[in-house]
Amino acid sequence: MTSRILVVRCLMLLVGAAPPWAAAAEPVPAGQGDPGDSACLSCHADRELHLKLESGETRSLQVSGEDLARSVHAKLRCTDCHAGMEDVPHPERHYKNASQFKAGFRDVCKSCHFENYTKSLDSVHYAVQARGDAHAPSCVGCHGSHAITRPALPRTQISRTCASCHEGVSIAYAKSVHGKALIEEGNRDVPVCTDCHHSHDIADPRNRSWLLKTPELCGKCHTDKKLMAKYKLSTNVLSTYLADFHGATASFGEGRAPGSERVAALCVDCHGIHDITKVKDPGSRVLQANLVKTCRKCHPGAGESFPAAWLSHYEPSWERAPLVYLVKLFYKVLIPFIVGGLVLQILLHLWRVVVNR
């Protein structure tokens, strides 16, 4: 749509003439928006309205009045976001390509949502934006531009939004124990993308420091006594993990240099990342029949009996791992006895020194 046509349309609007496309315009429902918004929609409701970029690409400038009425921003005026567009005809703006066009709208949201904007500056998405990638996510890319709804309503919308860029991950998640519960059962207790990755300060999941925090991420839900009782799951998974050689080694690994090799198995190495299944599922990585294959990812020479050395997330007891339980019990008695004996011996020596003076 050329700037000349836009000028003619706006002039007709100013003199009160009814433009021929007025019938196609979508009126703002009564009590919504602002009279100025109706003036904007008299042009921008036209589905043919578009902007041609210097690269030859085109971008639609059509806006739906119904979308505006449903939006959480329904009470805002168009010019609250599109500053500098009060004058008719609008000042001409030229964009080299789609990336530059999108960049022009990235800072619009920060005037009201400054805290989230500053968080986004530390995200992996912003790093992609800084490289000039036209497909990099931005505020409007995730939240929409005019049909903006409240976040997480419905909760499944979060995964659908992320799927627009991360399709493969979304497919894997939909088949997982978390994804099935959310999508098929509408269960709001299970985690969605933003519960693990956050929504604005999204870290690079390939970063070593982020990976080492995955047990803490999993523990947010799996140590919640009320939530785990609801699904009859143990809350000891994190404490038992940190107590065994995997967890202890991983905790020491936090001080290692970034980029160095991982030194221990984390939750995601055994259970999966987005494709997590129930532990009793035939395809589960931690099912007894599949466990040795999982162990061989880090221990290539592991034999069939290798997994027997691991107690999983169970505390040793007389019924489960009785030998380990007895050894643990023995040391619980032996160590206090030895230490107590040494303390008693020192006290007796001190008493004798005092008495012999």
pTM: 0.72
Q: What is the pLDDT of residues 166-194, one digit of tens each?
A: 999 999 999 999 999 999 999 999 999 99
Report DSSP state, residue 244: S
Q: What is the pLDDT of residues 4-59, one digit of tens each?
A: 444 444 434 443 333 333 333 344 443 344 445 788 888 888 888 888 888 888 88
Reference 246, options 298, 209, 194; nearest CA is 298
pLDDT of residue 1: 42
pLDDT in tens, the chain (357 residues): 444 444 444 434 443 333 333 333 344 443 344 445 788 888 888 888 888 888 888 888 888 888 888 899 988 888 888 887 888 788 888 888 877 787 777 778 888 899 998 999 889 998 888 887 767 888 888 888 888 888 878 888 898 999 989 999 999 999 999 999 999 999 999 999 999 999 899 988 888 888 888 999 999 999 999 999 999 998 989 998 988 888 888 887 654 555 555 568 899 999 999 999 998 899 899 988 899 999 998 889 888 888 887 777 877 778 777 887 888 889 999 999 999 999 999 999 999 888 887
pLDDT of residue 263: 64
pLDDT of residue 16: 39
Q: Which residues pair with 60 in a beta bridge?
A: 50
pLDDT of residue 2: 44
Q: Which residues pair with 59 in a beta bridge?
A: 51
Which two structure tokens, joined as six digits, stand for 157?
């919308």
Give the helix ranges, DSSP H, for 176-265.
Answer: 177-183, 193-197, 208-211, 214-222, 225-230, 237-243, 245-252
pLDDT of residue 197: 93
